[in-house]
Amino acid sequence: MGEIIFYALAAVTLGTALLTIFSRNPIHSALSLVVCFFSIAGHYLLLNAQFLAIVHIIVYSGAIMILMLFTIMLMNLNKDDESHKPIAAKIAATIAFCLVGLVLLAGLLRTKPVVESYYYSGEDFQSIKVLGKVLLNEYMVPFEFASVLLLVAMIGAVLISKKDKEKSLK
C-alpha cells in the first residue's frame, strides 16, 4: 500500500512540476507549484516526518506562494507586452537544457548506492527539539541567508514594477 501511495505522489509531484515550468499563465504555474508542494509534504508524511510536512505546508504552500502571487501581480505580466524571443535564443536554451540534463543523468548513473548496516542509536532525530537544535546551531547562517534572499527578491519585484509604472506615465 505504501508503494502505491509513493508512486501516486511521485507522479503528482513530477506532473505538477512540469506544469509549473511549461504553463504560459503565471497564475496557473503558481497554482501547480502549490499542488507540487502539497505532494512533497505527502512524501514527508510517508517518511514519518510529520513536523516537516506541516512546516512545509505552512511555509511553502502558504507564505512563499502568497509572496510569489503578490510578486506576479505587482509585475503585471501581460502577453501583449511580452517580447518574443528569437529562434536562435530558443535553440540555444534547448541545447543548454539538454546538456545540463545529460550531465545530471551521467552523474546519476555513475553513483552507486552505499549499502551499510543500519545502526540504531536510540536517539530520535525526528523530534522538534533535535530539529530546532540542528537548524538554529549548525545551519543558522544558511537559514538567515534564505530569509534575506526572499526579502531582497520581494523588494526587487516591487522596484521593477515601480520603474515600469514610471515609464508608462511619461
> Which domains does the chain show, CATH number per domain?
2-111+124-169 (1.20.120.1200)
pTM given for the model: 0.57
Cell numbers for 136: 538554529
In sequence order, which residues have a C-beta less than 8 Å from that of residue 161 and are 6 or more positions away?
74, 75, 76
- pLDDT(166) > 60: no
- Report d(CA 6, CA 11) in Å as an integer: 9
| Angstrom distances, CA of residue 24 to CA of 29, 70, 146 | 7, 18, 28
Q: What is the pLDDT of residue 129?
A: 79
- Report d(CA 70, CA 96) in Å as an integer: 31
70-90 confidence digits (pLDDT tens): 777 776 655 555 567 788 888
Look at the alpha carbons of 96, 99, 101, 104 in this order and tell me if their dihedral is positive or negative. Answer: negative
- pLDDT(46) > 80: yes
Answer yes or no: are the C-beta atoms of 65 and 30 closer than 8 Å: yes
